[in-house]
Structure 1
Amino acid sequence: MLKKKQQQPLPANLPPEQSDSSPQTMIEQIYAIYRTQYGGRIAPKLQQLFADVTALYAGQWPEFEACQVGYHNLQHGLAVALATARMTGGWNKIHGERPISRPVFLAGIAASLLHDAGYLKNKNDRQGKGGKYTFTHVGRSRELASRYLSTKRWSKKDIIFISRMIGATDFGEPPDMSVFANDEQLVMARMVASADLIAQMADINYIRRLHDLHDEFLEAYEREGRDNLRKRAVHVYDSFQEMLNTTPEFYENFILPRLKLFNRMDNYLVSFFADGRNPYFESITANISGQLLSNRLQWQRLGDILQALGLVDADVLVEALARQQQGKAARTIAAQPPQAEQDIGAQLLDWLQARGTERTRLGDILMEMNAVEPRALRTGLLSQLLPPQLTGKLTRDELLTLLQISLLAQNLYDDPWVFAQIIEMAIKLLGGESGSLMLARREKNEMIIAIHCGPDKEQLEGRAIPVDKGLAGWVYRHAKAAFVIRSSMGDPAWENSLPGGEEIRAILAVPLHINGEIIGVAEVINKKQGNFNEHDADILTLLANVMTCSLSLVKKLQLSKR
């Protein structure tokens, strides 16, 4: 259980806004699950459903305005539908003898997409944005869904089923789950209602979404009256900060009990992702745990450090960054002619004499502009790689291991086996049981487990994980180190294990950066004694600096061979 004395106020301005998954990306992910579960081509009914609901939220239906609320929009409906589809996949994997049938799956997706359509205003309604329907939207959603599905010739039985599922998402009243015709319908209704809860709490842009939700509440308060709502035992938030700071209690006192009421259908996400982890709950933990949003040591861009140290002015930094982007673009376009074989000494001589050409690193550009002296740049680089506030906290053994890892990293060249050893040493230094290096594939919105040290190495290496969920995804998207421990949530969803039986008790992850670009995440799992803490996060951040320096050299070596 959460202890109030351990909670810290959540900053209102963190984390920074990230790019959402596009609607089409989420639709394609649902299609992929459909093909896996039911085979063949996508059902025309499903394709029409997505097209029509997309048009509905865009204001292309004659009866409704385009969606104007910031939270209960198309993005949220698709997120709920995707979570529902993933739970279905997990259920079918576990209960192959009684899988969710195609018609019930389609009904669940329809309910997910339409459950918050009641926030849409009627055509030509100029009052507010739709938040005024916060306490009445479920009834409006059921009515809209029933009318629409009737025109598309869905069966009366399915329409009743979908309407009842939408009713189960009403947060204002205890859901009546006895209305469902059979066990299969009950399972799907529980999945949809669970998906509605966790999609909100696991949102990658949780802080921004909470702002949007608060704006909707304010509009509803104005319509309903704060005193009237209090008389109806509705909690009225006096400010956004109150909503933000009470999020952990809201999760513990409302979200978890309702998930238990729905028989923890969300646990089927573990079997769907097939690695013993529930990435939605990792994201939820990262979102609501105040210590993860604290101002502990984090990686900083060199320009920010130089500016903070008073070594470069803001306007000079802006100009240098612009030159950096121009240089990167020019280097990408320019062809790299093959070079004749040279001895090592000659290659190094060419490199030393080539100063001032093809400079794309910020420090080089600033020196070229005479904006900083080499000595000042050295100070900035050392502050980036070895932050002064950390050096005094390191023990002798920690310093020795860091030195050993730094020396070993110099022997990487083009053979990755050394890197696996570095990761193994990092795991040992932090007292972990296993760990991974994950590298991003941006075009596919995923990270690949490139190296894993610990149990199930062969099963895990090469596996893709989504960047929109899970602690690693949270760290990648927010560029901040974070850790989660099972006891911080008191959540049964943590009681799962990796393939082969490795129980997950705690996870620590930090981002990897090269020249200002986030390229992946380093992760350590399960501290053998005690729990991960901020000092562990600082050390792994420091090790990430060493690893990315080595990876940067490897990148240059690989490019030079082309």
Structure 2
Amino acid sequence: MQINTKNPAAVENEIKLILSNICGTNETKFVHEAIEWIVECFDGRFDGFQSIDVKYHDLEHTFQGLICMTKIFQGLRQANFVPEINKETLKLAILAILFHDSGYLKSKSDIIGTGAKYTLIHVHRSAEFAELYLSKKGFSKNQIESIQRMIHCTGIRVDLNQIQFKNEQERIAGLALGSADLLGQMADSCYVEKLPELFYEFQEALKYDPKAKDVIQNFESPEELIAQTPNFWKNIVLPRLEKDFIGLYKYLNDPWPDGPNPYIKAIEKNM
């Protein structure tokens, strides 16, 4: 059944179902609160911040990654992957992916442009925002630092070997998060039609950030970005998934280990 990833309640129910398969409990209170927290932030109900104003990296994008990551964890559990990801690490990973694009949020006093101008530094800003928000919810310094390390796994050019993970569980969780961030968006049936919005985010980053030209390709048009997307998948994303993220996407094969991978099939269809 296709999940309506625009609907927080539908996403919440799906995550509870997957968690019940992983943990034997659906963690109702935690899942509800965690999703409500990021909805609050993206809706502009967190003190001092505006609502999200970028159109590609929106709440649906976050929810697509959340569902994909949780399904990777389900696959790992079904395959008896070692180390087994414990419930604490799983919860921190859920918070990490929910807040991984919070760096696009602008403060109330920031009235120039949209959050897209922060494209180059949004991962760092997301880690900072997660600390600001989650510290107010009573999370410890160690928990927040774990969440921040996982968030940093979403940087497309981040050297993962430079991240000082606390342990192997945290590393695997971070790699699952990074995998899901890429897979969730690219497997969206509307991915190609959303790419013009990504183009405009890139254009704004290039306009406001002098360093962006060294990292972001200056596409001439949305059509050029779309035309280059198969190369992006083949030459950047797939090697990242296979090597840096140690092929964790294969744990989405259904059934494990030799069944089809619905995410890869959907992405290939989009190409």
- The alpha-carbon distance between structure 1 residues 280 and 90, as it changes in their structure 2 partners (threshold 3 A), is same
- Aligned mates of 2:160, 2:199 — CA distance in 1: 24
1:254 matches 2:264? no
The worse-fitting range, judged by mean Cα deviation, of 159-168 and 175-184 is 175-184
Q: Which of residues 56, 76, 81 in structure 1 aligns to 2:41?
A: 56
What TM-score do you get using the length of structure 1 for normalisation?
0.45
> Match of 2:202?
217
- Name the aligned partner's letter for residue 146 of structure 1: E
Summarize the alignment of residues 337-356 of structure 1 with structure 2, pairs less than 5 Å apart.
none
Give the C-alpha shift of residue 110 in structure 1. Answer: 0.6
Q: Which of residues 169, 187, 200 in structure 2 aligns to 1:202?
A: 187
Greater gyration radius: 1
- Aligned mates of 2:25, 2:217 — CA distance in 1: 48
- The alpha-carbon distance between structure 1 residues 97 and 192, as it changes in their structure 2 partners (threshold 3 A), is closer
**8 Å CA contact retained: 1:89, 1:272:** no
> Match of 2:21?
36
Q: Deviations for 1:122-164, whole angstroms, at most 9, x for unmatched residues?
A: 1143222211111111111000101222111223222111101
1:85 matches 2:70? yes
> Match of 2:165?
180
- Name the aligned partner's letter for residue 108 of structure 1: A
- Aligned mates of 1:271, 1:98 — CA distance in 2: 21
> Match of 2:96?
111
**8 Å CA contact retained: 1:131, 1:219:** yes
- Aligned mates of 1:241, 1:96 — CA distance in 2: 42
Give the C-alpha shift of residue 96 in structure 1. Answer: 6.1
1:244 matches 2:226? yes
Summarize the alignment of residues 275-314 of structure 1 with structure 2, pairs less than 5 Å apart.
276-288=259-271
Summarize the alignment of residues 145-544 of structure 1 with structure 2, pairs less than 5 Å apart.
145-176=130-161, 178-225=163-210, 228-230=211-213, 232-260=214-242, 261-271=244-254, 276-288=259-271
- Aligned mates of 1:92, 1:272 — CA distance in 2: 13
Equivalent pairs counted in the alignment come to: 267
Question: Secondary structure in 2 aligned to 1:122?
Answer: coil
Question: Secondary structure in 2 aligned to 1:176?
Answer: helix
- The alpha-carbon distance between structure 1 residues 240 and 22, as it changes in their structure 2 partners (threshold 3 A), is same
- Aligned mates of 1:274, 1:175 — CA distance in 2: 26
- The alpha-carbon distance between structure 1 residues 65 and 262, as it changes in their structure 2 partners (threshold 3 A), is same
- Aligned mates of 1:20, 1:30 — CA distance in 2: 11
Q: Deviations for 1:310-361, whole angstroms, at most 9, x for unmatched residues?
A: xxxxxxxxxxxxxxxxxxxxxxxxxxxxxxxxxxxxxxxxxxxxxxxxxxxx
Question: Secondary structure in 1 aligned to 2:253?
Answer: helix
- Aligned mates of 1:75, 1:245 — CA distance in 2: 24
Give the C-alpha shift of residue 174 in structure 1. Answer: 2.7
Give the C-alpha shift of residue 233 in structure 1. Answer: 4.9
**8 Å CA contact retained: 2:5, 2:11:** no
- Aligned mates of 2:166, 2:217 — CA distance in 1: 34
> Match of 2:116?
131
- The alpha-carbon distance between structure 1 residues 122 and 272, as it changes in their structure 2 partners (threshold 3 A), is farther
Gaps of at least 5 residues in structure 2 are: none
Q: Deviations for 1:464-503, whole angstroms, at most 9, x for unmatched residues?
A: xxxxxxxxxxxxxxxxxxxxxxxxxxxxxxxxxxxxxxxx
- Aligned mates of 2:121, 2:163 — CA distance in 1: 22
Q: Which of residues 53, 58, 61 in structure 2 aligns to 1:73?
A: 58
- The alpha-carbon distance between structure 1 residues 242 and 113, as it changes in their structure 2 partners (threshold 3 A), is same
**8 Å CA contact retained: 1:20, 1:204:** no
- Name the aligned partner's letter for residue 119 of structure 1: Y
> Match of 2:127?
142
Q: Deviations for 1:221-271, whole angstroms, at most 9, x for unmatched residues?
A: 11024xx544x3542222211111111111111101111211011111115
- Aligned mates of 2:190, 2:140 — CA distance in 1: 38
**8 Å CA contact retained: 2:205, 2:212:** no
Structure with greater proportional strand content: 1
**8 Å CA contact retained: 2:117, 2:205:** yes
**8 Å CA contact retained: 1:93, 1:271:** no
What TM-score do you get using the length of structure 2 for normalisation?
0.92
**8 Å CA contact retained: 2:152, 2:158:** no
Question: Secondary structure in 2 aligned to 1:106?
Answer: helix
- The alpha-carbon distance between structure 1 residues 151 and 38, as it changes in their structure 2 partners (threshold 3 A), is same
> Match of 2:107?
122
> What's the RMSD between the two structures over aligned residues?
2.0
User: Percent same amino acid among aligned pairs?
Assistant: 31
Q: Deviations for 1:354-377, whole angstroms, at most 9, x for unmatched residues?
A: xxxxxxxxxxxxxxxxxxxxxxxx
**8 Å CA contact retained: 1:84, 1:191:** yes
Question: Secondary structure in 2 aligned to 1:284?
Answer: helix
**8 Å CA contact retained: 1:68, 1:120:** yes
Give the C-alpha shift of residue 21 in structure 1. Answer: 4.9
- Aligned mates of 1:197, 1:109 — CA distance in 2: 16
- The alpha-carbon distance between structure 1 residues 236 and 46, as it changes in their structure 2 partners (threshold 3 A), is same
- Aligned mates of 2:255, 2:107 — CA distance in 1: 39
- Aligned mates of 2:97, 2:143 — CA distance in 1: 14
Give the C-alpha shift of residue 49 in structure 1. Answer: 1.3
Question: Secondary structure in 1 aligned to 2:149?
Answer: helix
**8 Å CA contact retained: 1:111, 1:165:** yes
- Aligned mates of 1:71, 1:88 — CA distance in 2: 26
- Aligned mates of 2:5, 2:134 — CA distance in 1: 29
Give the C-alpha shift of residue 208 in structure 1. Answer: 2.4
- The alpha-carbon distance between structure 1 residues 247 and 99, as it changes in their structure 2 partners (threshold 3 A), is same
**8 Å CA contact retained: 1:204, 1:283:** yes
Give the C-alpha shift of residue 113 in structure 1. Answer: 0.5
